[in-house]
Amino acid sequence: MLINSLKCRFLSDLENVVLKNKKIDKKIDLNMDKIFKSIRLEEPKNKEFGDLTTNAAMVLSSQVKKKPMELAEEINKQILSKWKFVESVALIAPGFINFNLKDKFVFESLNKIFSEDKCYGENKSGAGKRIQIEYVSSNPTGNLHIGHGRWGVMGDVLSNIYEKNGFDVQREYYVNDYGTQAKIFAECVKSLYLKRFGIKFSYPKDGYPEKTVAVVAEKIYESYGDKFILNKDEPATNDAEMEKISIDMMLSFIRETLLSIGVEFDNWFYESSLYKNDNFEKAMKFLRENNLVYEQEDALWFKATSYGDDKDRVIVRGDGNPTYFASDIMYLMNKKERGFDFLIYILGADHHGYISRLKAIGKSIGMNSDAVNIIIGQLVRLVEGKEVLKMSRRKGKGMTLDDLIRHVGKDAVRYFFSMNSFDTHMDFDLSLAKKKSNQNPVFYVQYAHARIGSIIRKLREIDLENASEKEISEIENSSAGFCENFLLNMKKYEFKNNSERNIAWVLSLFPDIIYDACKNNAPYLVTQYLYRLSGEFHYFYNHNIIISKNKVNMIRLVLAIATKKVLKNGLDILGISAPEKM
């Protein structure tokens, strides 16, 4: 990593050089960790201000009792002027420090792209840590809606990002197959199933859309015939077995939908399993023995307010039946027992109340405060032109996730769903997603990759004077000989123009993006980066000659192939194809 590594070094130098001999107020000194966290070392918004900028002088001025500009001069003199890879420094009022890195330093970063190849961008920050990421977890009572698709894609991409940061990741889908909704769905299936045999059984008034349920009922009829009918003269079936078959059948449809956009899970965890083998009784015993519950009004309450929640919550009703919250407790206890260091829940927009209650459960059973993380995924609105399309899973109307995938394709679905932060609403523009032009961001990124592929194909079709097909292959395939010889001999290279340097600079930032995307649970950083890199390449390609007659500019070819490799690595993280031709 370039920026994050420099920031670690910069903060260390600040502490050891600038602050070492300063008399800092003891009260302030106790908060230095917090103060240091507010120091930024990052790219300036305006590229003309330099490669990097820091607010360190302004953050620390009051602590060392110096004016920001005076402290900025001291930081430059004692730290940056001694960094051999810094080209120039500018001090800007009221205390910003902007600086540029030497071309040699930027160019040498290209070596890692070729030497690490498919592993470029990865780090080991999460080595030895197990994390479970649970997402989608839609009730198996109907087709997935568009929001489920967004959370599924972002959960999958986030899992990829954590893996690239060295974490041991488990992807999990929580199957809500226990309780009222599962029983209502089974009753709906039962009604339509019996109807196939001329047996009347009323359809539940609060049931699910017949269009959705009919697919399951028909599949059961085709697969099992009259197996579930106990008495042909009565509306009787083997309800328990039919409920299980109905849920499993609906889950198979959900699996197919998710697979069509490349979303898979390591584990499908059934809520019903929490109530088997005396698990419920054991969990209640644990809660009582650890003084985590109390009885009131014939119900059993969890002491949620003792652990940060806004109110205590019922876990067993007066009639002896467990609430949904009982399942939440047992499920989190189960996750802890499986040995995960960190848990991430990606929940729907209507689950804000779950943040405090899940964290309360985690604290009550001895988990660290940062071990349980809840991400709330916001809703998606489909638009086509100026028209807003209707969606309703419960009513069975509007476009489903399956419809969306058929409409615009897997790549567009995954890219568009990865474009924004989890906590922001998004408009999915169907018209834009279908365009085969640079206006469509996924097309724009994929075209950059394909464009470089066409350059390589062209080189192999002509008789080059200054390079052989073998040399081209060595560059493309990151051969050891190329990495050791060509790039090492280019240490003194100076970029011929800004577009060469800019693309090399952006390429060097990819490892930082992967680290920051993990640290901030922000898949959109990868999407934004790929769009930026593609823009830099398209500009570079349009303003630089790579092939002239029978000669190839080797440096520019290296930059192009490096771009292709990084685009491929980034698209792999997003689960999107990297086409060679378009």
Percent of the chain past pLDDT 90, that is, above it, reads 74
Residue 255 phi, psi (nearest 5): -60, -45
Give how many domains the chain has, as a whole number. Answer: 3
Q: Are 216 and 167 in contact (CB under 8 A)?
A: no
In a domain, 543, yes or no: yes
Look at phi and psi of residue 581 and say left if phi exceeds 0, alpha if psi is from -120 to 50, else beta. beta
The pTM of the whole model exceeds 0.85? yes
Task: Give residue 108's identity as a one-letter amino acid code.
Answer: E
Does residue 378 fall inside a structural domain?
A: no
Is 77 in the same domain as 188? no
One domain, residues 570 and 445: yes
Confidence of residue 489 (pLDDT cuts 50, 70, 90): low
One-letter amino acid of 300:
L
Task: Write the secondary structure of 332-396 as one string of H (helix), E (strand) and C (coil).
Answer: HHHHHHCCCCEEEEEECCCCCCHHHHHHHHHHHCCCCCCCEEEEECCCEEEEECCEECCEECCCC
CATH of the domain at 469: 1.10.730.10
**Based on the domain organization, do 443 and 569 belong to the same domain?**
yes
For residue 264, the model assigns a pLDDT of: 97
- Measured in whole angstroms, the distance separating CA 293 from the mean position of its chain's CA atoms is 36
Query: Are 565 and 470 contained in the same domain?
Result: yes
The Cα 513–Cα 4 span in angstroms is: 10
In the prediction, which pLDDT does 232 show? Answer: 61
Q: For residue 453, give its domain range.
A: 108-112+438-574
86-92 and 130-134 beta bridge pairing: unpaired
520 is a domain residue: yes
Q: Residue 315 is inside which H or E element, if any?
A: strand 313-316
The last residue of a domain, from among 101, 129, 158: 101
Is 19 contained in some domain?
A: yes
> Does a cis peptide bond (omega within 30 degrees of 0) precede residue 94?
yes
- CATH number reported for the structural domain that contains residue 93 in this entry: 3.30.1360.70
What tens digit of pLDDT does each residue of 4-60 get? 999 999 999 998 876 665 554 444 455 677 888 899 999 999 999 999 999 999 999
User: Tens of pLDDT along 324-366?
Assistant: 999 999 999 999 999 999 999 999 888 888 999 999 999 999 9
Q: Please check whether residue 175 lies inside any domain of the structure.
A: no
Q: Is residue 335 part of a domain?
A: no
On whether both 185 and 92 belong to a single domain, the answer is: no
**Domain match, 81 and 191 both:** no
Q: Which of 231, 250, 269 is the last residue of a domain?
A: 250
> Among residues 84, 102, 82, which one has the least CA distance to residue 491?
102
Establish if 303 belongs to a structural domain.
no
Q: Which one of 229, 250, 271 terminates a domain?
A: 250
On whether residue 285 sits in a domain, the answer given is no
Instruction: Give every strand in the sheet of 96-101, ordered side by side.
Output: 41-42, 52-54, 96-101, 86-92
Q: Quick one: 69 and 195 in the same domain?
A: no
Between vectors from CA 99 to CA 97 and to CA 102, what angle results, nearest 5°? 165
The Cα 482–Cα 12 span in angstroms is: 36
pLDDT, tens digit, 9 for 90 and up, residues 413-433: 999 999 999 999 999 999 999
